């Protein structure tokens, strides 16, 4: 800067500076002001938000979407007839709403399809009582009515693969040659306690403040690469999960599958007629059944026919047998496998964009469910909300620069397979991190998969760069309870597939309501457990986030690309 220009900075003398010097000084001061060279702050288009709120809260169709996904087309186990009917209905409804390119998109091989058409269970002696029972998914039917006295032959599972393998070896040694034509009470007595807490909960202000705080850093852990397995201590397990490479988890999965294969082959060869489980959680008629391991995989050995009883009924039978009382039960399960299904598919539909139509904003949730209820909270609720968000945007005829894409996933319950397959086909494979051309075209992926609970905020998934943007977009919904931004990661659902290849993927913070206490993977996961106002609120927030993301001048900022994650040890 010249002496003359410095001299002219004095207010008294500014009026005496030549006009061209005044112009250049103003320009210079403008450029030196930080706000001039920082990106413009994001804000909400409040007129559009007002229209979205009115459509979502006063003219909602979200419960109508939910009705068809649950009462009509539930449950929706991947590659089952229920899933295929639900997927076809979503395509049909999407076309009726005026969405483009509505179709089923295959993502790869999944495994066996399965469905049950009948289950009945009765206690006949010492006195008649109906038994509340569900079949375990991907287990065979009974091939007629089974009648007899069950025996106690329990096997206690363990999260530690080595401990469980030891228990299985002892079980097989103890019962070899003793189980032909037997019905097994297959788990220990299930201890029940009186309920002293409400089944339904919502986040308090204190809990949301805690959720907004960054978690404590996780100290690295030494991992025995020659024999890796998750520690039993919860804190050590947290450290292990944070730092273990992908090949470690793949190795553990392979060991666990080999363990189940050995066990199921033994039970089949021994001629076991029926496995009887207590619910792994739940009481009062609610059954959270265990799973049949990897029985969904084509060619994997199948266990014997298997049912789960509500714990009260299981415990009564167990006590009667222990006390050597006369016991007789009657069970029938009819189930069907689909051994050569077509490729598994996701459901896709779009709202084409304008100036940047080759760029996309993706929203989704998983369409598949477990088989015991109708998959309402897990996850027809999320699917219905995302469909409603698309309806709102289309109905209001909102102009958006980027294309908005709805994708409803299959195979989530077995390991987020549908979203992983989609991401691998379109964007990148986590094993190599070789990016495909579409990778740079995705601004964000938004997911909803925690039941009926209203949205209370957003998990930033470690991406603090989006905080100012999301804070601005969330602000108009504070009166609806959405207040919290959390830097934390949250797992277990399909946004992880996008985050794993460096695409901004987000799951919303939701009230738990009855998710873990009553509905998640239970026979009570049904339409009646949904709170309509929660879904209406969620649809308004997501439609607004989508609109603003689609019209933001720049894509959302991205974290550094993850490193390749080989699935086998190198």
381-418 pLDDT, tens digit per residue, is: 999 999 999 999 999 999 999 999 999 999 999 999 99
Same domain, 359 and 448: yes
Assign residue 365 the CATH number of its domain: 3.40.630.10
497 and 422 in contact (C-beta within 8 Å)? yes
Same domain, 360 and 231: no
Return the pLDDT at 553. 97
Closest residue by Cα to residue 363 from 298, 307, 419, 412: 419
- Could you tell me if residue 569 is inside a domain? no
Assign residue 153 the CATH number of its domain: 3.50.30.30
Same domain, 22 and 57: no
Same domain, 258 and 394: no
Return the pLDDT at 8. 38
> If you search the block for the tokens 């003219």, which residue do you land on?
59
Same domain, 217 and 355: no
Of 312, 338, 364, the last residue of a domain is 338
Return the pLDDT at 34. 42
Closest residue by Cα to residue 408 from 31, 88, 193: 88
pLDDT per residue over 526-547, tens digit each? 999 999 999 999 999 999 999 9
Of 338, 356, 372, the last residue of a domain is 338
Same domain, 391 and 525: yes
Report H helices in 202-292. 205-212, 234-243, 246-270
Closest residue by Cα to residue 129 from 315, 307, 313, 284: 313
- Residues of the chain with pLDDT > 90, as a percent, come to 81
Q: pTM for this structure? A: 0.91
Mean pLDDT of the chain, nearest integer? 91
- Could you tell me if residue 330 is inside a domain? yes
Return the pLDDT at 242. 84
- Could you tell me if residue 413 is inside a domain? yes
pLDDT per residue over 92-118, tens digit each? 999 999 999 999 999 999 999 999 999
Same domain, 197 and 314: yes
- What lies within 8 Å, CB to CB, of 31 at 6+ separation is 37
Residue 35 has pLDDT above 70, yes or no: no
- Could you tell me if residue 562 is inside a domain? no
Residue 1 has pLDDT above 50, yes or no: no
Q: Which of 86-100, 245-259, 388-402, 475-489 has the lowest mean pLDDT?
A: 245-259
- What lies within 8 Å, CB to CB, of 70 at 6+ separation is 374, 375, 376, 380, 526, 527
Q: Distances from the Cα of 367 to the Cαs of 10, 341, 406, 410, in angstroms?
A: 68, 18, 12, 6
Give the number of C-alpha atoms closer than 13 A to the C-alpha of residue 182, restricted to the C-beta side: 17
pLDDT per residue over 330-386, tens digit each? 999 999 999 877 789 999 999 999 999 999 999 999 999 999 899 999 999 999 999
- Could you tell me if residue 439 is inside a domain? yes
- Could you tell me if residue 403 is inside a domain? yes
Same domain, 328 and 350: no
Residue 142 has pLDDT above 90, yes or no: yes
Same domain, 465 and 545: yes
Of 297, 312, 338, the last residue of a domain is 338
Q: Which structural domain range is residue 532 located in?
A: 48-110+341-551
Can you tell me the mean pLDDT for 224-244? 83
- Could you tell me if residue 565 is inside a domain? no
Return the pLDDT at 227. 79
Number of domains in the chain: 3
Can you tell me the mean pLDDT for 142-154? 98
- Could you tell me if residue 151 is inside a domain? yes
């Amino acid at each position: 800067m010249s002496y003359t220009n410095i001299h002219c900075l004095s207010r008294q003398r500014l009026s005496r500076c030549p006009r061209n010097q005044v112009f250049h000084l103003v320009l210079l001061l403008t450029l030196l002001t930080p706000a001039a060279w920082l990106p413009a702050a994001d804000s909400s288009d409040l007129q559009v938000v007002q229209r979205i709120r009115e459509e979502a809260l006063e003219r909602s169709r979200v419960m109508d979407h939910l009705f068809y996904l649950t009462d009509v087309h539930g449950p929706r186990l991947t590659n089952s007839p229920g899933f295929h009917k639900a997927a076809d209905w979503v395509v049909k409804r999407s076309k009726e709403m005026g969405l483009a390119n509505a179709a089923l998109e295959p993502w790869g091989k999944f495994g066996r399809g399965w469905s049950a058409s009948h289950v009945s269970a009765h206690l006949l002696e010492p006195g008649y009582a109906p038994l509340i029972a569900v079949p375990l998914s991907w287990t065979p039917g009974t091939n007629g009515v089974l009648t007899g006295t069950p025996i106690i032959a329990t096997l206690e599972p363990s999260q530690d693969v080595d401990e469980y393998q030891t228990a299985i070896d002892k079980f097989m040694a103890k019962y070899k040659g003793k189980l032909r034509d037997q019905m097994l009470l297959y788990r220990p007595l299930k201890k029940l306690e009186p309920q002293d807490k409400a089944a339904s909960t919502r986040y308090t202000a204190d809990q949301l403040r805690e959720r907004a705080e960054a978690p404590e850093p996780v100290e690295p852990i030494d991992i025995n690469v020659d024999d890796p397995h998750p520690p039993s201590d919860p804190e050590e397990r947290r450290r292990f999960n944070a730092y273990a490479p992908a090949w470690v988890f793949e190795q553990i999965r392979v060991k666990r599958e080999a363990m189940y294969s050995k066990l199921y082959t033994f039970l089949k060869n021994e001629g076991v007629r029926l496995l009887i489980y207590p619910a792994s959680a739940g009481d009062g008629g609610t059954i959270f059944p265990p799973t049949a391991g990897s029985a969904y995989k084509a060619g994997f050995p199948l266990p014997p026919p298997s049912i789960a009883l509500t714990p009260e009924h299981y415990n009564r039978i167990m006590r009667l047998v222990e006390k050597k009382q006369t016991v007789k039960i009657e069970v029938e399960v009819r189930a069907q496998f689909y051994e050569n299904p077509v490729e598994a598919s996701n459901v896709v539909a779009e709202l084409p964009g304008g100036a940047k139509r080759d760029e996309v904003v993706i929203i989704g949730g998983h369409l598949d469910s477990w088989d015991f209820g109708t998959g309402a909270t897990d996850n027809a609720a999320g699917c219905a909300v995302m469909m409603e968000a698309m309806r709102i945007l289309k109905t209001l005829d909102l102009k958006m620069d980027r294309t908005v894409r709805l994708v409803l996933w299959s195979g989530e319950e077995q390991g987020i397979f549908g979203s992983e397959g989609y991401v691998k086909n379109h964007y990148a494979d986590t094993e190599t991190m070789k990016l495909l051309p579409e990778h740079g075209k995705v601004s964000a992926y938004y997911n909803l998969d925690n039941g009926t609970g209203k949205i209370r905020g957003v998990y930033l998934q470690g991406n603090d760069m989006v905080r100012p943007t999301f804070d601005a977009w969330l602000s108009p919904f504070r009166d609806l309870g959405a207040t919290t931004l959390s830097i934390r990661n949250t797992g277990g659902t399909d946004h992880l597939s996008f985050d794993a290849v460096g695409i901004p993927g987000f799951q919303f913070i939701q009230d738990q309501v009855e998710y873990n206490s009553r509905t998640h993977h239970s026979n009570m996961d049904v339409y009646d457990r949904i709170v309509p106002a929660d879904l209406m609120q969620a649809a308004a927030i997501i439609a607004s986030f989508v609109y603003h993301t689609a019209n933001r001048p720049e894509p959302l900022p991205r974290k550094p690309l993850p490193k390749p994650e080989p699935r086998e040890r190198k």
